[in-house]
Amino acid sequence: MRNMGQDSVGRFLRFSLWAVVLCLIALCSSDALAARKKRAPKKRIASKKGVVSKTAFQARVRRAIKRQCVRPGRLGLYIRSVSTAQTLYSHNAATRRIPASNVKLFTAAAALARLGPDYRFATDFYAKGGVRGGVLRGDLYLKGYGDPLFVHEKMRDLVRRLKLRGVRRIEGDLVADDTFFDDKKHGRGWRVGRSIKPYLAPHGALSLNFGLANVLVAPGDRIGGPARANLEPSSRALRLWAKVKTSRGRHPKIWVGRRRSKGKDLVQVGGSFPAGSRMRTYRVPVTDPTAFTAGAVAAEFERQGIALRGGIRRAATPPDARLLARNLSPPLSEVVSGLNKFSNNFVAEQVLKTMGAETHGAPGTAEKGLRVMRDFLLSVGVSAKEIALADGSGLSRMNRASPRSLAVLLEAAHNDFRLRPEFMASLAVFGVDGTVKKRRRRGVDSRRVRVKTGVLNGVRAFSGYAAAGNGEILAFSILMNGNACRPKSLTGELVRSMAALNRSFSSPVNAHLKGAREIMARPMPKPSVRDGWRRRSSPRPDPAEEDDLEELGPGIVPIAESPQDDSPGESPAEAAPAEGSGAWPSKSGAGGRNRE
């Protein structure tokens, strides 16, 4: 019995000891967990209501600038509510900076206001003599009015129209008339030198294919043999020298050059091209756009069976010459779409000089166009002290504009119904098309953000519109000079901040549209296969932390410069661009991206 009692006491003591040990372990664990929770930062839980006040919005923008900018003094930012006419944020907003391609916003808005969205550019054939038995007696005049979208296919159609008029032989010369513009081929302050970058293409009243010659390269029949290389369009002003071999591998190694030889542009192409690869197009700016266009028309005459007995020369079209055939561009509303979405420098300069010629008389010059643009900007409220413009594309580093001047223009264009539809449609949709096609959306409804980018060495610009969560429309402009900030990160944070704005507001102009604003605040439905749309995955994220490239357009491949490259019935007076039809060319592409 005594042994049994001792065993019971022993078991009780062991049980008590284990209970004490377990309690101590539990107590220590709870203390450690409490300490860990105390040290751990609290997770920020975003409110479903978003940013509900102006003060909270400003604080969020300040945090973004502090995180992403190493030199905030070189940043200019201005955000304004178009719906309430209220400034939401301002940081160095009146300081003039290099705006890069954001200058195209000024050019597009001024052109829509002064020329009208239905304006069309013409390219005409005139003659003084009559056509008898298929023979044109005398010279044929080719007059250009600065059409920025006059491409190879349009030129063929124009020659076909001439042939339908019964012309089979021309006894005189083909006379090229480029007097609608002056003879300056590049903007003031452009750093051209010996460069053959496509975005530096020359402009002129009689230009073809964005001032670019297409070099088409395809593999040959066997490895080690010559590859195929051709020029398109063919022109009497161009010659091709090609030394490209068909090789193994996956990536082409091509260089392209250009130099003057015997009064013509000698386009050089060399290197290796992999067997089995698709044909590639390399674009080279021509030296003389008028000679290039006239030479291409003469080559097209030969292709379509029209005999040209004379030569090619330049002169003005006589006032009493008769119109034989005409090509009309798409309306200006489509032209500015390519101008802004793809940041086309050539198109911008053509439009600028056309404004000058139509307002102040031919020849159109950059100075006349800038005068028209400046007068327009002052009329919509832009301060003369905040702008100093040198060209229409923004490629010149002599341009200066403040973020506030750009936002004032955006607000004026939005509030003017004559400009708003075409102007807003010309801007790139964030993460969908144009120069911001590859931008990461990160939860932002891309259809609520439309922007114009700008890129030069050490310069980044980002301006446009954003629709907030409450339907409020914001106009904003961000100008960064001197590598002040991380461009993509900063613009992405600011776009998300504007999209998150969900305050209650009362518009002095549109207070009665509360129901419409509530509809705008709802997320747009995704397209379905039933609606005839194909579901598309979101674009792949761009791993590089650098700003948006101003794209050349579909199918364009960058080139490597060669070390051998060297620089070198109605009268035309009464004729004005009239109505017609056309479309933005898809094959020839847009010809200019704004990078140095």
pLDDT for res 471:
86
Please pick, among 81, 101, 477, 588, the residue that the annotation labels catalytic: 101
List 235, 247, 329, 343, catalytic entry: 343
Cα three-residue angle 48-54-58, rounded to 5 degrees: 95
CA distance 363 to 558: 34
CATH 3.40.710.10 in the chain, residue ranges: 54-118+331-506
Which residues are within 8 A (CB) of 420 and not within 5 positions of it... i.e. 6 or more apart?
A: 413, 414
Pairing of strands 169-170, 307-308: parallel
Q: Distance (Å, rounded) from C-alpha 491 to C-alpha 495?
A: 6
Residue 484's pLDDT is 80
User: d(Cα 196, Cα 395) in Å, to the nearest integer?
Assistant: 15
Does the model's pTM come out above 0.85? no
Which tokens in the block code for residue 84?
Answer: 């309430």
Q: Is-contact 545 438, C-beta < 8 A?
A: no
Contacts of 536 (CB under 8 A, 6+ apart): none
Q: Are 95 and 72 in contact (CB under 8 A)?
A: no
Structure tokens at 562: 């060669």
Question: What's the CA angle centered on 476, arms 392 and 540, to 5 degrees?
Answer: 90
Q: Cis peptide leading into 233, omega within 30 of 0?
A: yes
pLDDT at 26: 64
Residue 140 host element (H or E) = strand 140-144
Tell me which residue of 399, 396, 397, 416 sits closest to 408, measured CA to CA.
Answer: 416
Q: Which phi and psi (to 5°) does residue 152 adopt?
A: -55, -45
CB-based contact 453:343 (threshold 8 Å): yes
Q: Is 101 marked active-site?
A: yes
Angle, in degrees to the nearest 10, between helices 103-114 and 332-341? 180
Spatial neighbors of 247 by CB under 8 A, at least 6 apart, are 223, 224, 253, 272, 273, 274, 275
Contact criterion met (CB below 8 Å) for 128 and 138: yes
d(CA 368, CA 353): 7
Q: Can you tell me the distance from the alpha carbon of 355 to that of 350, in angstroms, rounded to the nearest whole number?
A: 9
Q: Which of 81, 83, 104, 426 is catalytic?
A: 104
pLDDT of residue 443: 65
CA distance 158 to 125: 8
d(CA 474, CA 86): 10
Amino acid at 405: S
DSSP calls for 116-129: -TT---EEEEEESS
Task: Check residue 194 and give its pLDDT.
Answer: 84
Would you state the structure tokens that stand for residue 40, as one six-digit string? 């751990």
The three state secondary structure string of 339-369 is HHHCCCHHHHHHHHHHHHHHHHCCCECHHHH
For 54-118+331-506, CATH number out of 3.20.20.60, 3.30.70.270, 3.40.710.10, 3.30.420.610 equals: 3.40.710.10
Whole-angstrom distance, CA of residue 336 vs CA of residue 117: 9
Active site residue 154: no
The b/e string for 545-577 (b: 16+ C-beta within 10 A; e otherwise) is eebbbbbbbeebeebeebeebeeeeeebeebeb
Helix (H) or strand (E) holding 401: strand 400-401
Backbone angles phi, psi at 539, to 5 degrees: -65, 150
Cβ atoms 481, 458 nearer than 8 A: yes
Describe the strand order of the beta sheet including 86-91 as a list of residue ranges. 86-91, 75-81, 473-481, 459-467, 449-456, 428-429
Q: For residues 454 and 396, what is the distance between their CA atoms, to the nearest angstrom? A: 12
Q: What's the CATH number for 122-328? A: 3.50.80.20
Domain with CATH 3.50.80.20 in the chain: 122-328
3-state secondary structure of 53: coil
Residues in Cβ contact with 391 at an 8 Å cutoff, skipping those fewer than 6 apart: 103, 187, 188, 189, 190, 348, 349, 352, 366, 370, 398, 399
Say how far apart CA 127 and CA 217 lie, in whole Å: 39
User: Is 562 assigned a catalytic role?
Assistant: no
What are residue 308's phi and psi, to 5 degrees?
A: -110, 110
Profile the chain (596 residues) by mean pLDDT over runs of 10 residues.
56 66 64 54 44 85 93 94 95 97 98 98 96 95 98 98 97 98 96 91 98 96 94 96 94 94 94 94 97 98 97 97 98 96 97 98 98 98 98 98 98 96 96 87 78 96 93 96 89 91 62 44 45 35 37 37 37 41 37 40
C-beta of residue 209 within 8 angstroms of C-beta of residue 300: no
The residue behind tokens 């012309």 is: 167
**pLDDT score recorded for residue 505:** 59
Q: How far apart are CA 577 and CA 153, in angstroms?
A: 19
Distance CA 81, CA 331 (A): 31
CB distance 148 to 284 below 8 Å? no
Structure tokens at 321: 């010459």
Whether residue 122 contacts residue 328, with contact meaning beta carbons closer than 8 Å, is answered with yes
| CA–CA distance, 473 with 93 (Å, rounded to integer) | 19
